[in-house]
Amino acid sequence: MIPISNLYDCQQLNHDPELQREVISYLLYYQYELQEYDDDPDFQDFSFSVFQNDDDLQVLEDLGTPEETVRIEIRHCQGSCVLYRLVYVTEVLFIPAHLADKVSL
């Protein structure tokens, strides 16, 4: 699992530009919301993660049902890629389709 706590951490995703763009976009949106609701302590304890392998899927059992599940399909000239964004109260998880297919979303 790749933990993402700031924009600099997104450099770890250089190998997958589509995934990197999605993570950066949502992280920036979250930071915008953080500024808007900065008096709410629940917004201070939050994490972003990108799943990399089957072992990462164990985390889903502990978290239960997400508040939001988004299927993202990006089409480009070389084909397409699919990933999922799961939003929980204190976490956002990005899961590539090849891993998401192994669990029920």
pLDDT of residue 41: 56
Q: Which of 84, 87, 96, 82 is nearest to 68 (CA)?
A: 87
Range of the domain at 84: 2-100
Write the DSSP string, 32-48.
HHHHHTTT-GGGTS-EE
- Indicate whether 38 belongs to any domain: yes
Mean pLDDT, rounded, of the chain: 86
HSE, CB side, 13 Å, CA atoms: give it for residue 44. Answer: 4
- Indicate whether 56 belongs to any domain: yes
Q: What are the structure tokens assigned to 79, written together?
A: 């084909």
Average pLDDT, integer, range 61-76? 90
Number of domains in the chain: 1
Q: What percent of the chain has pLDDT over 90?
A: 40
pLDDT of residue 42: 53
Q: What are the structure tokens assigned to 99, written together?
A: 């891993």
Q: pTM, whole model, 2 decimals?
A: 0.83
- Indicate whether 105 belongs to any domain: no
pLDDT digits (tens, 9 = 90+) for 26-67: 999 888 877 777 665 555 567 899 999 889 988 888 888 899
- Indicate whether 88 belongs to any domain: yes
